[in-house]
Structure formats: C-alpha cells, structure tokens
Structure 1
C-alpha cells in the first residue's frame, strides 16, 4: 500500500480537531523505554524516509482516503491534506531529527524527534506516528538482536581463536522464508547486515543498493537442501554429497551440505570421513557440513569432535582445537542468541575453538521480535500554542515506566555517557540528534559502510 495518508491507525484521522485552539506545532519523540537489551542499535529510518517521505501525496491519494474513511465511519481532514498538496506540493511539512544510524543508544534516551514545520499542520506530527514508529522499532530491534549475537560470538572467538578474521561470516541470515512479508525481509535482513556479512536474503541486498549506497552488502555460498540430497535416495546419499563437491568445490571455494537427512553420525563417520575423505581433503576449498536436527548444544560439539576424529585438528595459540581449513560446521536449526551462547560455552569447555562453527538464524532473527522487545514508544513532549511552547507529558500512576519525557529534546554525551536533556539545557554539548529529513528532502544520507563502522565500535554482550 503506497497511499501514505492511509498508512496510519484509524483513530488518528479524528485527531486534527482534538488539539487546543491556537496549536501551531507539536513535537514528539521516539525512545526505547527498556526491554531485553540495555542498549539499542539504531537503524532503518532512512529506508522509510526514502521510500515514503520523498514521494509527494497526490489528489488521487486524498480522494481515495476520503472515500475509504467515509465508508469506515471516520472523519477525514480533507482540507488539511489538500493544503499540503497545494502549499507543499504534496510533501509532508515535517522536520525529523535522529541519532546517526549505527549508534548504540542506552535505553531510555531519545533517538528520533519529529515536529511539523508549517503551523497549519500541527496535527501531522501525531498522524505519522504509526508509520514512523514502525519504521524505527523493527529494524532497530533486529539490528540489536544481531548485534547481541555478534558480541557473543566475538567474545568466544577472542577467548578461543587466534584472531577475529572469521567474525563477519559467523552468523548467516536464514530468515527470509519465516518472515511475515517481503518488506520485513528487506528491512530486517538488512538490519542484520549492519553487523555481519552473511545472508541468504536477496531482498536485503537490493534494499542496501537502493537506500544505503552499497552495491553488495552480503554474501552466500552454494548449499544443498534436503530435497536435493534425498532426491538421490538413501542409497545415493554418498553420490549426492560427491556431486556437491564436484559441482561447487575448488580452490578458495566453499560449499555447504546438509547431512542429517538420514543419519548425521553415519554421514560424518562413514561418508564424509571415509568414502569421500580424500575428495574433501583435495578439493581445494572448504566443505561446510550442516546438521539440521537434534538438540544444538549436544549435536554441534559432538559433530565437531567426530570430524576431528576423521580429519584431525591443530591446536591454536590459545590452546583450543581447530579443524583443518577444508572442513567446518554450520548450525542452522534452533539458533538464537541463547543457544549460540550455550553452544559456544560447551565447545569452550571441551577445548573446541569457535573457529570451527558458524550459525544460521531465521525466525529468531527476523520474526521473534515485537515493539515490546525493547518497549518502543513515540510520545508528544512539547506543544506550541499561540507562539508559546509548553511541556507535554504522561505520568500514569499505574505504570511509572510509561512516564514520558517533557519539552523539546536533545541527545548529548556527558562524561562519555548518553543523556537526554531539553534543548534549553544543552550548554556547550553537541546535540547528537541531527536533521535527517525536512519538507520532503533527505538531509542526512547514510552509507552502509559508515553505519557498520559506527556499530562496530561498541559491544552489547557482557560475559
């Protein structure tokens, strides 16, 4: 649906007559009020701005909205939208400020602030809440989940591996088929690529090209699925594996083969480790074996140890065992931040380096998040009536966590810590909220490379 006027909650259409007489400006902000993680990795607003706010509304949009809302039983601000069409050429008279994308912001701080730029459109600030809040909470939450996994894996690599060179490819996005929509994949999967370089979600690649100046944001490798293996029949399992090596093996190449269609232990001990051992050792690239069933914290260490029994291992400078470069493991079933930590902890106990394994995450990455994961909210904090700014806030006695902020806001760093203050109390500090959109124009245009560099400066995981 591309009619921005209808990209809102029904009750919002009645709000234009609910503000006090003389209201000229309404200022609102977005924050994460808490949640699972102590910080949130801000990302994704630019997609919404470029996709929706840089395109003007049309008379067709206005007429469609009027017709639908009349049948829906709701009022419609026809004159207000016609005014935007005639006076602003259909572009929304809004000013949006935000922290730079890729910034890890502690919860409880302002990340986005929006205010109307035309006093005749004070109602517009709140009208855009539904679309704007969704444009922020979803990619930011996915980026935060991904960042947490990045921090966990980085921690265990630091303890059990000689370097962090493999980190960018340690968590692969398997989430496209389990997401609620193609748009969710476009946005959420790109949020994952702020932290990692591995993905099977082509939609994210396209989104990065269109909105973040990145020709190629992520990479994948040829891989088997159960249908391509089982199509050879149980008696042809070895031939199916051999075919994968012949088709996709070679110097510097990687190929992934799901190996649990029948018996993962037989596949490792007898097929890979015996019948095809010389082919694996001599193909010139890396075979990535994928178990796809069982209890991950049990399956992964045992699979790696069985592979070491067949292919050998070296002991790295940290004292942990590492498979030969030509064989690795990827776990793509039952993967979450919790299971990743549990698997890597168990591997460390057994003296196995994190170098041996990569992970693929699907629903836990893109789908098992919601607005309450990080308790996102957009609230009005200031209003200008007849030229006078006043603080606006809520403070419900039944839930003080929902207490909202007051005034026109700024985000500063004080003694190295983020702090939300009113614009009157900035002092000599720099306001970290920068204008990213104004009156139909993109003001700040971020590149994915720069976002990645910002995100990589901090860690989220605490051991």
Structure 2
C-alpha cells in the first residue's frame, strides 16, 4: 500500500520519543536479535535481505520527514525532525547503520545472537532503536523457515528408513497451501519464500516473486494441476466420476502428475468405485501419476485407509527396503496438517508397511499463520551504548522472569570450524572482531556485515541459502 511507504512511520508510536530518553552525551548504540528459546531448539535464519532491500534501500526524503512530523504532532508524540533532516541532507536519506548477521540459511541454536545493528554516525545514535519495530519482524520468516526445516528433518528421517530415493523424494514432500490463510500478501510473499528455503513445492505465488526480486532466483518452486471442491462438485454428485475423468483428459499425460480432491462426498466410495474400477484403466493407460486428496476426517486414519484402498485397486511393488510403493497413484493430505500430524501419519503408514514415497503433505495455516513472535521468543534488544566516549553495557534482568534476561555489551557470533557449535562472544573496542582472549581455538566468525550506510555488502542467492539450510542436520 502506497500509504505505508514512509519508513519513518514504520515504527511504534513510542519510538518517536526515544531520542530524548538516552543519557546525555550518548553518541552510539548497539542492538542484537536472538531467539530466546521456544518450540524448537534451533532456528533457520532467513528474510533479512528481503527486508533490507524493501525498506532500507530507498532513501528517505524531506517529504517523508514532513509527513512524519505532521502525523506525530497530531498523534501526541515528539518527533526528531532535526535529526531526520540531518540524515536526508548529510547521508542522502540513507540510514547510517551497520547490520551484521549470520548468512541466510544458517541453522543456529537458540539463545545466540543472529544479527546485530549499530549506529555509524554519532549524531544518529538513536536510529537503531527507531528501526526495532521493522527489523524485529525478521521473526516471521525465520520462524516459518524453522517450522518448515524441522518438518523436513522429520520427513527425511522416514524417507531414509523406507525409501530407495530419499533425497530425490524429499524436495516435494511438503507443499505450501498457506497463501489464503495469512494476514497480507506481504506475509504470503516472505513466508512463502521462507518455506522454499527447504522445499520446492508451493502454491504461494507471491513467494516466487519475492525470491526472484530479492534473492536472484528465477523460479524458486513448482506446482501441478490440482482440483478444488468447486471444480468437482459443479458436475453434480451423480456425475462425480465424470469430473474425475475430465481431470484425466485435461492433465494426465505420460510422466505428468495431477492432484484430485476426492472427498466432496465419500472418499472411500470414490477410491473403491470411481478410481479403483471405472477409471482404473484410464489412469494406468495415461502414464500419469494421480494424487488423490482427502480433505476431511482424522488425517492419520484417513490417509492410512486411502492407501489401503488404493493398494487394493492398483497394487504395489516392494522396494529395496521392504516397503510397499503404490502403482500409478499417491495420496496428498492437506487438511489438519501440522508438524505433529505429519509425524503421526508417517508413523502409522510406516507401521503398515508403506513407504513414505506414497504420501505428500500440504500445510497452510500451521506453516504460514499459526505462529507468532513468541513461537521462538524473538527479541531485539540494546546491549551497549557509548556515553561520554566510553562503551557501557546495557541490559535487562527482571526478577520476575529470568527468561527475559538480555545479553550485555557489543558482541558477535563464532562457529567451530570442525564441530559446528556456536558461541556468542564480546567484541574488542571499536571493532567487529572478538579480542584474542575471547576467540577460542578452532572458532571462526559466524557473522558477516550485510548492510552498511544504506548499501548491501553481502548479497546472497537463493541457491546459496538453500544449500546452507539443506546441509544442516539434527
């Protein structure tokens, strides 16, 4: 929305007054972002590059300052008009800050600094605080990428146990169904791209656009022709089989894949009679793979029952690991899908002797919307300020909640080059590097400078990000 284009209004109201609240003679501040725990014990870092290119690459203007000044005056908040005019005139409207972070796609345990933000002009020491609201929204793509990555590890585990081709199967086992269930097209875009860090299947078109615009990826994901209930039920219940036949005639070609929702009336009747008898030979002769989609009931029981019925109709082969792989058909479950139900479904069908090759999942709300900042307890906090020329530690330590204790001092992140473990450590005075005493043997810098004074320094491709995330294992 064009009415939301002004960076100076992309903040919380109280931020407008914070420039007046720091100690006298403050001339620099340092902030960091971390996950303070949460559902998962590690996170996948993603989305910073998109946020920076979208919101910080465009210089602010005097017109932006005018608009913000007038809004905050009417709103009841003081506004640092002179400070923002200084940035327009002395920095060309580009904010004097430095952002360092782990490379996107990095999988990092919780309770470590993932990125740092610091001022680079003594007269604009207050800018990092002003940006907290906007930059902390990194929690969303990181959390989506984290949920998706952990589901990937679950599916990978079952594939390695039951499939002859686990790595070939894995990229398309979790499909993004979440676009319609999110709060905005912006959420769909950055959340959809976050999922694509781990998988290649998506129906969230805006995620493809974001990966292309900000990560140099011509095509980040793929989909297949698929039916919805309206395209089946518009034929009428008495012509249900003709709706399925039309799907075959339109899309079933040798080597193709198509998905057909089949539970508009009775999924078990549809498999036994329509797919398993009336259309069976057409499915076989087409050379396509038909993916039957149930969309109601208990996901664990329904998927298992559908596999059994499809097995009765089309038969199976037994792979090298002793598990059954259906001929010509598969199942995709998109209703009631979340990390817990995915594991339960895979445990059930594995116990019944079916390879994970036979199923795929579509996840919507649980992937892109059923999460919040507290899912991984994200926080962006000030940890140091330079006052009267001396750096001082800035931190909180509430007696009522030790989980909200914040880090103190200027810091960076190190990673052991052999074992891969991380350490958040202090940095030496006026540098980005730890003092020699704070750098243990075998540890290298895990953070790099991403953004400095309005310009990107390290510009990752989507392929690089995917490679990092895929290489990380439990």
TM-score range normalised by the length of the shorter chain: over 0.9
Q: Describe the superposition over 1:375-399 as per-residue Cα deviations: whole angstroms up to 9, x where unpaired.
A: 0001111111122111111111111
Q: Describe the superposition over 1:91-144 as per-residue Cα deviations: whole angstroms up to 9, x where unpaired.
A: 01000000000000000000010001100011111110000011x100000000
In structure 2, what is the Cα distance between the partners aligned to 1:458 and 1:446? 18
Which residue does the alignment assign to 2:409? 407
Q: Which moved more, 1:252-261 or 1:412-421?
A: 412-421
Which residue does the alignment assign to 1:310? 313
Which residue does the alignment assign to 1:416? 420
Task: State the superposition RMSD in angstroms.
Answer: 0.9
Q: Secondary structure at the match of 2:320?
A: coil
Contiguous gaps of at least 5 residues in structure 2: 428-434
**1:169 aligned to 151, 172, 189, which one?**
172
Contiguous gaps of at least 5 residues in structure 1: none
Which residue does the alignment assign to 1:147? 149
In structure 1, what is the Cα distance between the partners aligned to 2:30 and 2:236? 64
Q: Give 1:59 deviation, angstroms.
A: 1.1
1:5 aligns with 2:8: yes
Q: Describe the superposition over 1:30-86 as per-residue Cα deviations: whole angstroms up to 9, x where unpaired.
A: 000000000000000000111111100011111111111111111100000000000
1:410 touches 1:426 (CA, 8 Å); kept in 2? no
1:388 aligns with 2:401: no
Which residue does the alignment assign to 2:346? 344
TM-score by length of structure 2 reads 0.96
Q: Give 1:407 deviation, angstroms.
A: 1.0
Which residue does the alignment assign to 2:267? 264
In structure 2, what is the Cα distance between the partners aligned to 1:205 and 1:455? 18
In structure 1, what is the Cα distance between the partners aligned to 2:329 and 2:444? 50
1:229 touches 1:237 (CA, 8 Å); kept in 2? yes
1:160 touches 1:354 (CA, 8 Å); kept in 2? yes
Q: Secondary structure at the match of 1:203?
A: helix
In structure 2, what is the Cα distance between the partners aligned to 1:208 and 1:375? 26
1:322 touches 1:355 (CA, 8 Å); kept in 2? yes
Which residue does the alignment assign to 1:76? 79
In structure 2, what is the Cα distance between the partners aligned to 1:263 and 1:416? 51
In structure 2, what is the Cα distance between the partners aligned to 1:438 and 1:355? 46
Which residue does the alignment assign to 1:442? 456
Which residue does the alignment assign to 1:335? 337
Which residue does the alignment assign to 2:192? 189
**2:110 aligned to 107, 122, 127, which one?**
107
Which residue does the alignment assign to 2:365? 363
Q: Secondary structure at the match of 2:397?
A: coil
Which residue does the alignment assign to 2:298? 295
Q: Give 1:417 deviation, angstroms.
A: 1.0
TM-score by length of structure 1 reads 0.98
Q: Describe the superposition over 1:337-362 as per-residue Cα deviations: whole angstroms up to 9, x where unpaired.
A: 00000000011111111110000000
In structure 2, what is the Cα distance between the partners aligned to 1:378 and 1:408? 14
Shift of the 413–279 alpha-carbon distance from structure 1 to 2, 3 Å rule, reads: same
1:245 aligns with 2:248: yes
Q: Secondary structure at the match of 1:322?
A: strand
Q: Secondary structure at the match of 1:430?
A: strand
In structure 1, what is the Cα distance between the partners aligned to 2:470 and 2:117? 28
Q: Secondary structure at the match of 2:473?
A: coil
Q: Describe the superposition over 1:226-262 as per-residue Cα deviations: whole angstroms up to 9, x where unpaired.
A: 0000000011101110000000110111111000011
Which residue does the alignment assign to 1:25? 28
Q: Secondary structure at the match of 1:308?
A: helix
Q: Give 1:426 deviation, angstroms.
A: 2.9
1:16 aligns with 2:34: no
In structure 1, what is the Cα distance between the partners aligned to 2:380 and 2:154? 30
Q: Give 1:427 deviation, angstroms.
A: 5.7
Q: Secondary structure at the match of 2:322?
A: coil
Which residue does the alignment assign to 2:42? 39
In structure 2, what is the Cα distance between the partners aligned to 1:317 and 1:48? 46
**2:129 aligned to 123, 126, 131, which one?**
126
